[in-house]
Each structure stands twice: as C-alpha cells, then as structure tokens.
Structure 1
Amino acid sequence: MTHRISRRTRVFCAGLGAGVLVPLTVAVAPAAAAATPQATCTSNQPALATKLQKDITTALANRGGTVAVGLHDRSTNTTCALRPTQAYDSASVVKVTVLATLLWDAKKTNRLLTQRESDLATAMITKSDNAATAKLWNQLGTTKVKGFLSAAGMTRTKPGANGYWGLTQITVQDEQKLLALLTARNTVLSDNSRAYVLKLMGRVVSSQRWGTPAGAPSSVAVHVKNGWLSRSTHGWRVHSVGTFKGAGHDYTISVLTHGNSTMNYGVTTIQAVAKAIHKDLVPTRAQRYTPTTDPQEAFPAVPAS
C-alpha cells in the first residue's frame, strides 16, 4: 500500500498551550514526489521564522509518508506547525503520558511513588519496557488517563482500547502541550514531577537516543522519547518527541510520521527535520549531538488485525 501526501493538504499554525507482540511488518513504498508540505512558523524574530519554514520544507522535500511537526522555543516565542491535529498511533511515545498520568494521580492524593512504581517508570522510559508500561497502564486504567488528558488540555489524544496503549491516538498539538507541561511550572504537574520525567528522558539508553536530538549542539541538554510500530495500514509509524535547553534557548520538538517504507526511513525523515531546527535555533561549530547509528525501540503489543 502506498500512502500519498495529498496535494490539497493544508497546514496551519497551532499555539501551545503485556500482551503478545505481533509485529506486522509491511513494505510500504514512499509516496511519489508531490508538492512538499510547508510548516507555518511565527516568531518574535521574523527572519528566524522564515528560515525555519524554509529549512523544514527543504528537509521534507521528496520524502514519502505523512509527517507532522511541532516546534516551540520559549526564548524567541517561535512556533512552527505542520499537520498539528493529524492523528497517529502513538507507539511508545505514549509512555511519557503514562508516567505523567501516574505522577498527576499521585499528586492529587499527596503521595510519593512506591518503589515498584518508580522501578516500572524507570524501565518504561529509559528502556522503553513494554511489560512495565502495561502494568502501569492497567493500574491506572483509562479513566485516570483520560482525567490527566483533560487536565492537560490534550483534548485530541484518545487512549488505546482493550489495553493496547500503543494504539493511543496522538497529535503533534497535544504532544507539544505535554512537553510544555514538562518544561515550565504549571498546576497539573509539580516541579518535582516535571524534573523526574525529564531526568528519565535524559537517561534513555543509547540505542533509543535517535530522532529529535539529531544535530543538537553539545551545549544543549537533551531529553527524548521515541516510538515505532508497523501495521498493515499506514506502514511504519515512527515518532520522536524531545525537549532541549541551553545556549540561550528552551525548546520542544515533536515529529510524528506514518506511511514509512521501513523504520529507518522514518528515522531519517525525523532526523533531517531535527537537524534543520537545531541548526537554525542554535548556530554553532561546536560538536553536535550525534544519535545512534543503530536505532532501536520496543515493539508495543498490537491486535492481530
């Protein structure tokens, strides 16, 4: 099946605000060359917005699949968006939401995480452990997940049914809202909770530190969570979300993709976008962050059809 980018696609700017593993790998040919989708960017520095829009568009030129991009830099009030409300199967990216829900729920009852919960959370984020995620997902239940999503204003995120957390429907717009909660004071998550999530995202194992960190300057702190999934429709879903702080900037990047022919094809697309963003925001000759050349992730459990 070939997933093509419609020539009629419109792009608009959005503000911030264990089961059996069944990997259904299918070869999906990249879409034929079509009009390259353009992100819409705004900024307190108009020249920066223009450059980002141009360079993100260039990074996506001749790339197949369907890509959504979100960027926000607090330091320059710069926002870029491409397909901000397009829905994607979450794969392991939803694990950040699971942890945020756990911390939000604990905050409501003024309790600390248990040692079991802390161990599961660490495995879930740093190693993308699916069994740990399933245990926390089942402990919380979709009612609590939906409660957190409502509190966070993530109105377009829909939890996966029947325990299939990897099929949660996510959007760039909502992922950017989640990253915003992690990187600034708010009433949803405590400062300690925010610091805890970022600490774990900063300790992701090397084989999973690909995607949005590509090209990040060495002077910028990197926190990342990625995900992949292949099914009979839309081919490979490959996603990466990250937060970056340093060199006078404080920014978040979300890139969601599906319709990729292989996992590596999606990774390459994401990293091309990320490199363009980092280069434009923090121009430097200093050594840049180079992600793994052997990207890996954990396959979430999915239904057989």
Structure 2
Amino acid sequence: MSSPRPVTRRVVVDSTLALVGVVVPMWVATRATSPGSTTHTALSTSSAQALPRATVDRAALAARLDAHRDARGGTMGLVVHDLRSGQRFAWRSFTNESLSTIKVLILVACLRKCQEDAKDLTDEQHKRARRMIQSSDNVATDSLLAWVDTANVQRAAVDLGLKGTEVKGGSAGGWWGYSTTTPDDLVTLLDAIALGTAVIHAGHRAYIRHLMAGVVPAQRWGVADPPLPNGVYTETKNGWGPLPDGYRLNSIGRVVGDGRSHTMAILTRSPQGFRYGKETISGLSKIVHEALALPL
C-alpha cells in the first residue's frame, strides 16, 4: 500500500476557506511560506494552526487590471485601502482633474468653518450640501464654495494630508472641477471621513457619510456599482466631464458587506466619451471587488 499523500499548505487553506463559504477565484490567492519550507512538506497539527492567512495575489490583480486597461484603452489608476487588514494596493496612480469628487472636500471645509465659527449650516446650506453630494448640483457647489472660500478648502486638504491635491476656484483661478488630485489623496480623504480626523468631528463625518450613502441611482457607477450583491452598503461620489485629451470619469467611495470593507478611488480618462468610460471604470471596480474575497 502506498503511503498517504502529504497535506499541503494550499489544501489546508483552501479547505478552511471552503468551510466558511468564501469563493476565491484561482488568480486571487497567494500564500506566504516560511524560509526553506515547501508546499510538499507534511504539516503537523500545530503548524497547520499557525498557517498565515491567504491574501490577494497583488501581481495577479495588477495583471487583471492591466488586461482590462489594454482592452478598453485610455488612462486609469486606482488605490484601494482594505480596512480589514489595513493594507493599501495602488495601481498606475496618476494625477487627474477631480471634477465633482472635489465636492466631498468642499463639504469638509464647510463643516470645519461651522466648527470654527461655532455655528451650524443654515437650512438653505443643508439643502445645497445635499444637492451637491447626492445629485452633483454645480450651482449648489458654486454657492457653498463662495461661502467657505477656496483657500479654506485648500487648507483642509493640507491638514488632511492630501499632498497631491490642488484646489481651484474663486480667487485661485480656474473652475473648481479642474482641481487636481490623486487616487491616494482621495482614499486618504475617505479614510478620514470613515475612520476619524481632527479636522472635523464625528457628527460632521457621519453627516457626510449619510449624504454619500444617498447618491441618486444614476450616479452610482464605479466604486459603488460593480454591481454589488444585495445587502452591500456603499458611500460614494463620482465626477465626470469632457476635456480635449479624454473624458474624465472618477469614482470614490466606501464598500461594506459581502465580506468586504474598503475605501477606493479610481481616476480615468476615457478616449470614447462618457458611456464607454462608465463601463470601463465599473469594470475596474468589478475586478477589485472580486479580488477582495481575500484581504490585501
């Protein structure tokens, strides 16, 4: 009789994942091994219990994203922060015009001004904030930015640690939608709102999240629309608009549920307009959502 086949690390980890109902695509998983060990060495009970957790294969994830980029064309980059593990993954990050994603930072600056002045937003300002975030109303944004002042929005960016963000508008010159930023900065902004910051207090952070959770369905593409399974909670804000070298489509947000918990920012330039770019950016989000069946 032949001797039993030794149990491998892969068998143990895959069996564990199967027991808890986690479906992991073959390209997603990577497993760490200790120096000098091989996957063909029999494991004792104690060593099996000490196995490292399976995590996302970052090289495979980048390859999938690259293949999507090659197939669709255009410029794109993203950063995702896995709140389960605390790890970030960056892919082809670059600086892009913010379009309406800057509205979240504008609202942060408005709420900070309220704190510093020991006042609340007026009823009319609340209505404008809701329209600005939930239906991307530009007139409401113009009004709030004129009240808070561009310099205070830039000050909020600096104090939040957004090193690659330049706010335009008003006396700074240029339209606020042509402010420039990076996926890393936008994830830092989202993390501050979700996890805490000294810039605004918890009540104001909850207010922003509430508005971002109520964005109208037509504007919930990208981060919030892979499409996600029922029961997944999302907070989002997107920005879009034409420029000569490509239609800008940007998406930021937080996803909680279906075993995931992450913040993500995706910036893109579409060579074929809005509808094509919308499909492209949602495709990137689908790839990341599939990969995050495992933690980063």
Query: TM-score range, shorter-chain basis?
Result: 0.7 to 0.9
Q: Are the counterparts in 2 of residues 238 and 256 from structure 1 also a CA contact under 8 Å?
A: yes
Partner of 1:296: none
Q: Are the counterparts in 2 of residues 49 and 78 from structure 1 also a CA contact under 8 Å?
A: no
Of 99-108 and 50-59, more deviation after overlay is shown by 50-59
Q: Cα gap change, 1:275/1:259 in structure 2, threshold over 3 Å: closer, same or farther?
A: closer
Q: Percent identity?
A: 30
Distance 1:184 1:256 in 2: 22
**Structure 1 residue identity aligned to 2:233:** A
Partner of 2:117: 109
5 Å-filtered alignment, 1:288-303, equals none
Are 1:58 and 2:67 matched, yes or no? yes
5 Å-filtered alignment, 1:20-31, equals none
Write 1 or 2 for the structure with the bigger share of helix: 2
Q: Cα gap change, 1:196/1:65 in structure 2, threshold over 3 Å: closer, same or farther?
A: same
Are 1:140 and 2:148 matched, yes or no? yes
Of 186-195 and 124-133, more deviation after overlay is shown by 186-195
Give the CA deviation at 1:218.
2.2
Partner of 1:216: 228
Are 1:277 and 2:288 matched, yes or no? yes
Distance 2:162 2:57 in 1: 26
Which secondary structure does the structure 1 equivalent of 2:208 belong to? helix
**Structure 2 residue identity aligned to 1:279:** E
Residue of 221, 224, 230 corresponding to 2:242: 230
Partner of 1:90: 98
Q: Are the counterparts in 2 of residues 71 and 81 from structure 1 also a CA contact under 8 Å?
A: yes
**Structure 1 residue identity aligned to 2:236:** V
Are 1:179 and 2:187 matched, yes or no? no
Which secondary structure does the structure 1 equivalent of 2:223 belong to? coil
Distance 1:189 1:282 in 2: 33
Residue of 159, 167, 171 corresponding to 2:167: 159
Partner of 1:255: 266
**Structure 2 residue identity aligned to 1:230:** P
Contiguous gaps of at least 5 residues in structure 2: 1-29, 33-51
Q: Are the counterparts in 2 of residues 83 and 172 from structure 1 also a CA contact under 8 Å?
A: no
Asked which structure has the greater CA Rg, the reply is 2
Distance 1:197 1:116 in 2: 16
Q: Are the counterparts in 2 of residues 137 and 163 from structure 1 also a CA contact under 8 Å?
A: no
**Structure 1 residue identity aligned to 2:238:** N
Deviation per CA, 1:110-152: give whole Å up to 9, x if none.
Answer: 3322212111100101110000000111111121111101111
Give the CA deviation at 1:248.
4.3
Q: Are the counterparts in 2 of residues 75 and 248 from structure 1 also a CA contact under 8 Å?
A: no
What's the Cα RMSD here?
Answer: 2.1
Distance 2:119 2:57 in 1: 43
Give the CA deviation at 1:100.
1.1
**Structure 1 residue identity aligned to 2:72:** R
Q: Are the counterparts in 2 of residues 217 and 278 from structure 1 also a CA contact under 8 Å?
A: no
Q: Cα gap change, 1:45/1:107 in structure 2, threshold over 3 Å: closer, same or farther?
A: farther
Contiguous gaps of at least 5 residues in structure 1: 1-40, 284-305
Distance 1:269 1:276 in 2: 11
Structure with greater contact order relative to length (CA < 8 Å, sep ≥ 6):
1
Distance 2:161 2:167 in 1: 14
Of 199-208 and 103-112, more deviation after overlay is shown by 103-112
Q: Cα gap change, 1:173/1:244 in structure 2, threshold over 3 Å: closer, same or farther?
A: same
Give the CA deviation at 1:46.
5.9
Q: Cα gap change, 1:252/1:157 in structure 2, threshold over 3 Å: closer, same or farther?
A: same
Which secondary structure does the structure 1 equivalent of 2:235 belong to? strand
Which secondary structure does the structure 1 equivalent of 2:71 belong to? coil
5 Å-filtered alignment, 1:2-13, equals none
**Structure 1 residue identity aligned to 2:166:** K
Partner of 2:90: 81
**Structure 2 residue identity aligned to 1:158:** E
Distance 1:212 1:45 in 2: 26
Deviation per CA, 1:20-39: give whole Å up to 9, x if none.
Answer: xxxxxxxxxxxxxxxxxxxx
Distance 1:110 1:64 in 2: 49
Partner of 2:78: 69
Distance 1:53 1:231 in 2: 27
Q: Are the counterparts in 1 of residues 249 and 270 from structure 2 also a CA contact under 8 Å?
A: no
Distance 1:227 1:245 in 2: 21
